[in-house]
Amino acid sequence: MTRVLVLQGPNLNLLGTREPEIYGRDTLDDINAEIAVRADELDLEVDFFQSNHEGALIDRLHARDFDVAIVNAGGLTHTSVALRDALLGVARPFVEVHLSDPSTREPFRKVNFLRDVAVESIVGKGARGYHLALESIARRFDAAGSGG
């Protein structure tokens, strides 16, 4: 069975109350519950990790106990070369997900240290973006003959 790590960055623990006009009203727990259901339907094993600390996210990646990741790095997308280096260093494919489309927001959000090293970027689809990422992972791993 393909093991998927869902890695959530800073401030995503505030979903549901933080700028709901941008990020929606679903909490992180709501989103994770929906991801777990969809992952089960797709025969994917899923593990969740959220931290407001860059080093904790990097340490989690270094565990290398997953086949592929879904990464919503939050604001670290625009600032963290270290997170980019960790994603490259663990040599696991990942799909980048953002609830909003950062490129349509403040100018500083146009910088993205992850997009060019992700196998796919899904932005601006809200919580549905995680489902699209899971479906993409299921297709890719089935096509490669590596999946469950």
Catalytic residue from among 23, 53, 130, 131 = 23
| Helix (H) or strand (E) run with residue 124 in it | none
Catalytic residue among 78, 98, 130, 131: 98
> Which segments within 44-98 are labelled E, that is strand?
44-50, 68-72, 94-98
Q: How far apart are CA 33 and CA 53, in angstroms?
A: 23
Would you call 53 a catalytic residue per the annotation? no
What is the total residue count of the chain? 148
**Is residue 130 among the annotated active site residues?**
no
**Dihedral angle sign, alpha carbons of residues 66, 146, 44, 120:** positive
C-alpha 66/C-alpha 6 separation (Å) is 10
Helices within 25-75 (DSSP H only)? 28-41, 54-62
CB neighbours of 61 closer than 8 A, spacing ≥ 6? Answer: 5, 7, 69, 86, 87, 89, 90, 92
Q: Annotated catalytic sites, by residue? A: 23, 98
